[in-house]
Amino acid sequence: MVQLIQITEEKLTETILEGVKKELEQFKKQFQPKQPAEWISRNEVAKMLGVSFTTLYSWNKKKILIAYSIGNLVYYKRDEVNNALTPKAC
């Protein structure tokens, strides 16, 4: 038999629920369905954004966009390109 001293039923319930919520959040993070990355070429990104390769290179240096390469080929993740776009206040 467990005896709890100086804790109300409400406080005990609240404490248990907080712990369960934390565990559920951790569980959700681990089991989110993951979509495979959609890779797009430098040509596609330049055309999509209406910019030159020089601009893309500049954005890579400034870490506005992240380029990935294999050999001489350069690719970008579509979701990272889309996320780099930010709303502009008029």
Model-level pTM? 0.59
Distance CA 49, CA 71 (A): 24
3 pLDDT higher than 80:
no
Instruction: Read off the pLDDT of residues 40-69 as tens digits, 9 standing for 90 and up.
Output: 999 999 999 999 999 999 999 999 999 999
* Nearest partner of 75 among 38, 34, 36, judged by Cα: 38
Q: What percent of the chain has pLDDT over 70?
A: 94
